[in-house]
Amino acid sequence: MAKLMAFGAAAGLFLACAGTSWAGVVFEDSFDAEHGSVFKLNYDAFAKWSVSKPSVDLIGNGDYDWWPGNGLYVDMDGSSLSAGRIISIPIGLRPGEYILSFELAGCYWDPSQYPHELEDRVIVEVADTGGVLFSNTYSLPFNQGFTPYYVDLSIPADTVVTLSFEGWAQGTGDDLGMILDDVMLVTNPIPAPGAILLGGIGTALVSWLRRRRTL
């Protein structure tokens, strides 16, 4: 905690001296408050998301808890044996630079002990009314724990975006997909003298904000 306080003080001083603004969190969801903080298979009542393809599972927090200590999280291949897609509520953005961050993990189960498909993927997209602003596909081995990802977004004009995460599985799905947690969209520091260092501070701050509930 002392190191965190020292880092925060140093970062704040540098940002102030560099004339850089930090507007903060635009959107975030750790999924921990969903369904009374209790797991639910084939869950489709998210507060900030709609389920547009078959199903996802809300798991963790002691039940179906493949990766303990991370609260609730989303299995992208629901128990209907068909991978799902979730789409966020509309998010209004002003022109500027943003960082989208999220965490993904493998399905946990060793295929030699619990037979399932050998490859799962998650397709991540950011879109507005004009089309797709970002799209990428991520894949992890089954035994890979939560791994953070960061995406830089440049928004040239006022717009409204949605975030989407879509599970992908070979064949029809097997109810074990990649795991999603801690989605966050924040404003990036506006470039000023020392932009490279500011970018590093920005990424570190995003990482801390996503993890703050565990400190």
Task: Indicate if the pLDDT at residue 20 is higher than 50.
Answer: no
Least trusted range by pLDDT, from 17-31, 53-67, 80-94, 118-132: 17-31
Mean of per-residue pLDDT scores for the chain: 83
**pLDDT value at residue 15:** 41
Q: How many CB atoms lie within 10 A of CB 184?
A: 21
**Half-sphere exposure at residue 161, Cβ-oriented, CA atoms within 13 angstroms:** 22
Residue-wise pLDDT for 167-199, tens only, equals 987 665 567 899 999 999 999 875 544 444 455
Digit-coded pLDDT (tens) for 35-57: 999 999 999 999 999 999 889 99
Instruction: Give one word for 14, left, alpha or beta, with left for phi > 0 and alpha for psi -120 to 50.
Output: alpha
C-alpha R_g of the chain: 18
Dihedral-angle region of residue 86 (phi above 0 means left; psi in -120 to 50 means alpha; beta otherwise): beta
* Average pLDDT rounded to a whole number, residues 124-142: 96
**Predicted TM-score of the model (pTM):** 0.79
Q: What share of the chain is helix, strand, coil (3-state, %, to 5)?
A: 20, 40, 40
